[in-house]
Amino acid sequence: MVDFFEFEADFVDSLRCIPMQVRQKLDTSGIKLKLSDWSHLTKAERETLVELPCSTEAEVQAYREYLQSLIIKRTGTPAAELPIEPHPAWLDANTIPRNLEEKARDFGVTLSSQQWAELTPLQRFALIKLSRPSHENQNFPKALKEFHLL
């Protein structure tokens, strides 16, 4: 299933930026993909990365190998690898990450456990990524609104 968020609408047609669903697959497969590497891929290759499944152990391995082969083909060097989180926060429907709670409070939002649990794993992933201090956060309030939290 291909899910794009409304806050990604300005770039999903061209896929000039890495959509959240691909970012989630990157974290799942332990690949750090720079935007400059993404921009070397063809639109068809980007679309394939959006559509390829990345849930089971076999799918994660296949995704990782496919992506690395693309990056080597396009740039000559493999993408950096990241440790794979054995229990990613976005899959934990019971625990709201502290930095996310703090960022939400900056926008006058107090997330309840029920609200967090009702979000999809991809929505939780997006909020976690958008709430990081290193992120510019312009889409964080848009995501809160889109997910009916604001």
Of the residues 63, 81, 99, which one is the last residue of a structural domain?
Answer: 81
Closest CA to 73 of 37, 120, 126, 125: 37
Question: Rounded to whole angstroms, how far apart are CA atoms 123 and 127?
Answer: 6
Name the H helices within the chain. 20-29, 35-40, 43-51, 57-75, 98-106, 113-118, 121-130, 140-146
Look-up: residue for tokens 């679309």? 47
Range of the domain at 63: 6-81
| Domain end position, chosen among 62, 81, 100 | 81
One domain, residues 138 and 75: no
Contacts of residue 57, defined as CB under 8 A and 6 or more positions apart, other chains included, come to: none
pLDDT tops 70 at residue 53: yes
Confidence of residue 138 (pLDDT cuts 50, 70, 90): confident
Flag whether 30 is in a domain: yes
Residue 15 and residue 71 in one domain: yes
Number of domains composing the chain: 2
3-state secondary structure of 49: helix
Question: Among the three residues 39, 54, 81, which one is the final residue of a domain in this structure?
Answer: 81
Q: What is the pLDDT of residues 92-123, one digit of tens each?
A: 999 999 999 999 999 999 999 999 999 999 99
Question: Residue 100 is encoded by which pair of tokens?
Answer: 């996310």
What local confidence, expressed as pLDDT, does residue 113 receive?
Answer: 96
What is this structure's pTM?
A: 0.92
Confidence of residue 136 (pLDDT cuts 50, 70, 90): low
